[in-house]
Every structure is written in structure tokens, then in C-alpha cells.
């Protein structure tokens, strides 16, 4: 079903009803999903607390348990695992080693600033993530209402994003929440023809995550071809550059601000005595995540999946262990990563069928950026959480599911169960993405 068909079918009679307000749905989705995350992690910590040696190996400085109270440390645990230690360390001490430079600066800078107020960087990071996540859910609904005015698709999109099994990272001290907010906000601003605001938000996104600069593509697309307020998207003239020139105005140069978020960080690295390309060098040489071509992660992971990983998890032999006692292992993780491709493909097809093509382009750009730097231990490491900011995937899925009640309930229920399971594993220091 297309956007126009859905909107027409959902439109009431001669007296149109006003769409539901975004805030109540956003708050409900925020509270319900975080209750699942915190509840599952708390139960897992009570039943199977990780050994002190394991915690110390991942967090030797004790960043994730900064309080004297064991209760407080346990309460903060679902927000503080793995890369949290790097973001907090950068917020407190700056970029002191080359391995730090793989983490882009906007989020640790925000933690550093808010830490002046709250006096605890971990709490500052949690507050930033939660506020950005809640704001993302509100803005997502406002954006979807531009194409689906009756509100049903907007509400379902919110729940699909909030209950996505990797959405535990939205409330963790990670960049997913702030990057998702900036992405949705920038595209919403462009849809409202607020070009300067869209460009500034794009620049901030480029300073928040390495793939943030790709926002320049959907912003330019909306500028040149729409969709724009009150008018259908014009036909795209691919045959001649004049098709672009005719639509361009002097304010098109505002989009030159978007890459400045990335460029500013690279200049900072060079001015601080490091290489201009230090972030990419650190990602490749310290973290093993160098660029290996579009979709290279998927190609390698699928090859491993059929060559030995699937058989290994079925027979429970020849698995590659992450650490002794880990409930998961690298082999299981790779199988899970490959299985993510099934709902991803379905969501991409739904997005293509139901949404303006600019959303398909943005989703594909995020997928390509997320699938092009394979890890030697787990080719698609973090892929599922990296693609979460590709919000059109959730909107496209919602547009297909909104009139299919059984499929909708099954999808939301399965997502909630998986979110609880991954949150439980995450709480006891099992690597889940």
C-alpha cells in the first residue's frame, strides 16, 4: 500500500479528526520499553551476577560502577557497559590515546558539559541518552504525520523503534540516541523547508558519528525534488545536470555546513598533534574496523554462516569463545547477525513500497555505511545497532503492518521478548551487538 493509498483509506468522513498528539505515545513507548530493559537487566544481575574479574577486564577504572552503594551501581548498570567506559573517559580526560579517536566528539563533549551540572559523568550520559531518545520518538511521529496524517502509522512507528531488540542502546551511554535524534530532526526540518536548521543539525550529526555526513544526501534530495510542504514531489530529471540547476537557489550552499562536523573533528585531531585521518586510522588499526567495500561485512558473515557457524551452534562444537563463562560467543553472535538480514530486507522492501524514495535512499546509505567495515572477530559486529538510526525502516514496516493486526501484534510481541533477552545478556556483560 502506498503513502497516498494509506492516507486516503485512513481518512475519515467529511469531518476529519485531528491526529493524536505525539507526546503521550512517545512517553508510553519510552516508559514501557525502558521498563523492559531495566527489568530484564536487573533480574539477570540478581540471578547470574558477572564475576569481578570479568567486570574488571572490561572496566578496569570502575567507570560503570562509580557509586559506593551496590544498589545504585546496579540501577545504573543497564546504561553502562562496554563502550560506555570510552565515552566517559573521553568526557573526563579528553583524547589521551590514539584509540580514543574512533569515538566522535559530540556525545562525550555533551557529557562533559552536563557533568558540570550533575557532578557525575555517567549520570550525565544517561540523562542525555534518555532525553534524546524521548525527543526522537516525538519528532519521529511529527515527521511521519506529514505523510500519514491519521496518526496510526506514526504511533506504530514509535512503538516499533522503541521495542526494537537493540533499542537498549538508546538508553545506554552510547551515541545511538543523540545521532537518531539529529537525523530525524534534520530531515524533519528539511521537510518543513528550514534549510539552515537542517544543515546545522546535519553538521552536528557528522560530529556525533562517522557516518553522519551521509545526511547531506537526503537533505539535498528533499531540497531538489521533495517531498515539500503542500506540493507533490516533482519528477526527477536524471538525464541532464540542468535538471538539478533549474531547482537550485543560492541557499543550496547551506548544505556545505553538513560535512563541517566531520571536518572540524579531523582538523582538531591534526591541530592536537595527531594525524588528520586519525579517527579512521584508530578504527582500522586499533579496533580492526577498516573500510573493506560496500556490504563487505554481510558477504563475509554470510560466507561464515554457511561454511561453519550454523553447524557449530547446532552441534555446540568448534565455537569461538568471547571469554570464559560468556553466555554467548563469537559464533553465536555471527549467526544472530546474519539472521538480522531477514527483517532488514523485509523492512527495506516495505520502505520502498510505502514511503517517499528519499527515505529509501537514506536507509540504504546507513545500511551501506554500517556494513562496510568488517571486524576480524565478528564480521557484522554492531551492525544491528548501527542501522537503528535508519528510521525509515521502522516507518515502512509500520505502514505495512498497520492494517494487519495479527502481524502487528506478532512483530511487537517478538520484539519485546527479544529486547528483554538482549537486555538481560547486556546487563551481565554479555556482548550482544
Question: Taking a C-beta distance cutoff of 8 angstroms, is the pair 196, 253 a contact?
Answer: no
Question: Taking a C-beta distance cutoff of 8 angstroms, is the pair 313, 319 a contact?
Answer: yes
Q: Which residue, chain included where needed, has cell 505502514?
A: 399
**For residues 40 and 289, what is the distance between their CA atoms, to the nearest angstrom?**
31
Instruction: Using 70 as the pLDDT threshold, list the residues of the chain that sit under it.
Output: 1-19, 230-248
Helix axes 121-145, 106-118, angle to 10 degrees: 120
Question: Taking a C-beta distance cutoff of 8 angstroms, is the pair 409, 364 a contact?
Answer: no
- CA 398, distance to chain mean position in Å, is 17
pTM: 0.92
**For residues 63 and 73, what is the distance between their CA atoms, to the nearest angstrom?**
10
Closest CA to 371 of 311, 293, 319, 423: 293
**For residues 228 and 122, what is the distance between their CA atoms, to the nearest angstrom?**
41
Q: Is 228 helix (H, G, I), strand (E, B) or coil?
A: strand
Q: Which residue, chain included where needed, has cell 507526546?
A: 23
**Any residues with CB less than 8 A from the CB of 401 and at least 6 apart, and which?**
156, 160, 407, 408, 411
Continuous segment of H or E residues that includes residue 270: helix 260-271
Residue 239 vs residues 64, 222, 225, 358, 382: alpha-carbon distances, Å: 55, 19, 15, 19, 39
Question: Taking a C-beta distance cutoff of 8 angstroms, is the pair 120, 87 a contact?
Answer: no
pLDDT digits (tens, 9 = 90+) for 368-381: 999 999 998 899 99
Residue 426's Cβ-count burial label (10 Å; 0-12, 13-18, 19+) is buried
Buried b (16+ CB within 10 A) or exposed e, 387-418: bbbbbbbbbbbbbbbbeeeeebeebbeebbee
**For residues 339 and 272, what is the distance between their CA atoms, to the nearest angstrom?**
42
Residues paired with 228 in a beta bridge: 231
Q: Which residue, chain included where needed, has cell 563487505?
A: 296
Question: Taking a C-beta distance cutoff of 8 angstroms, is the pair 175, 385 a contact?
Answer: no
Q: Rg of the chain over CA atoms, in angstroms?
A: 22
Amino acid at each position: 500500500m502506498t503513502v497516498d493509498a494509506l492516507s486516503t483509506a485512513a481518512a475519515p468522513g467529511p469531518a476529519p479528526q485531528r491526529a493524536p498528539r505525539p507526546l503521550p505515545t512517545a512517553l508510553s513507548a519510552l516508559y514501557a520499553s525502558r521498563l523492559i530493559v531495566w527489568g530484564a537487566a536487573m533480574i539477570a544481575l540478581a540471578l547470574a551476577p558477572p564475576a569481578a574479574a570479568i567486570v574488571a577486564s572490561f572496566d578496569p577504572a570502575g567507570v560503570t560502577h562509580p557509586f559506593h552503594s551496590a544498589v545504585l551501581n546496579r540501577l545504573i548498570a543497564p546504561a553502562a557497559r562496554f563502550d560506555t567506559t570510552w565515552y566517559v573517559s573521553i568526557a573526563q580526560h579528553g583524547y589521551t590515546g590514539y584509540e580514543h579517536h574512533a569515538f566522535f566528539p559530540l556525545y562525550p563533549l555533551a557529557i562533559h558539559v552536563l557533568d558540570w551540572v550533575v557532578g557525575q559523568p555517567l549520570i550525565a550520559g544517561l540523562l542525555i541518552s534518555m532525553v534524546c531518545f524521548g525527543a526522537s520518538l516525538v519528532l519521529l511521529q511529527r515527521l511521519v504525520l506529514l505523510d500519514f496524517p491519521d496518526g496510526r502509522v506514526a504511533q506504530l512507528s514509535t512503538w516499533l523503534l522503541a521495542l526494537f531488540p537493540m533499542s537498549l542502546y538508546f538508553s545506554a551511554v552510547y551515541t545511538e540516541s543523540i545521532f537518531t535524534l539529529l537525523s530525524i530532526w534534520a530531515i524533519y526540518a528539511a521537510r518543513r523547508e528550514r534549510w539552515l536548521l537542517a544543515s546545522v543539525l546535519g553538521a552536528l550529526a557528522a560530529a556525533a558519528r562517522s557516518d553522519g555526513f551521509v545526511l547531506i544526501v537526503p537533505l539535498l534530495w528533499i531540497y531538489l525534488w521533495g517531498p515539500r510542504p503542500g506540493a507533490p514531489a516533482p519528477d526527477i530529471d536524471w538525464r541532464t545536470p540542468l535538471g538539478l540547476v533549474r531547482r537550485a537557489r543560492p541557499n543550496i550552499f547551506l548544505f556545505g555546513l553538513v560535512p563541517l562536523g566531520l571536518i572540524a573533528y579531523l582538523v582538531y585531531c591534526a591541530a592536537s598533534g595527531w594525524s588528520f585521518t586519525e579517527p579512521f586510522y584508530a578504527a582500522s588499526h586499533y579496533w580492526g574496523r577498516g573500510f573493506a567495500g560496500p556490504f563487505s561485512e554481510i558477504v563475509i558473515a554470510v560466507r561464515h554462516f554457511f561454511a561453519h557457524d550454523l553447524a557449530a551452534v547446532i552441534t555446540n562444537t568448534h565455537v569461538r569463545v568471547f571469554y570464559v563463562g560468556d553466555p554467548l560467543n563469537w559464533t553465536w553472535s555471527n549467526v544472530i547477525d546474519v539472521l538480522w538480514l531477514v527483517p532488514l530486507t523485509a523492512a527495506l522492501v516495505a520502505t520502498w513500497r510505502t514511503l517517499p524514495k528519499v527515505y529509501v535512499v537514506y536507509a540504504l546509505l546507513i545500511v551501506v555505511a554500517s556494513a562496510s567495515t568488517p571486524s576480524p572477530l565478528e564480521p557484522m559486529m554492531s551492525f544491528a545497532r548501527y542501522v537503528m538510526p535508519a528510521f525509515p525502516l521502522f516507518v515502512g514496516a509500520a505502514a505495512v503492518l498497520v492494517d494487519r493486526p495479527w502481524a502487528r501484534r506478532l512483530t511487537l510481541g517478538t520484539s519485546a521478548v527479544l529486547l528483554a533477552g538482549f537486555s538481560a545478556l547486556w546487563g551481565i556483560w554479555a556482548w550482544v551487538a
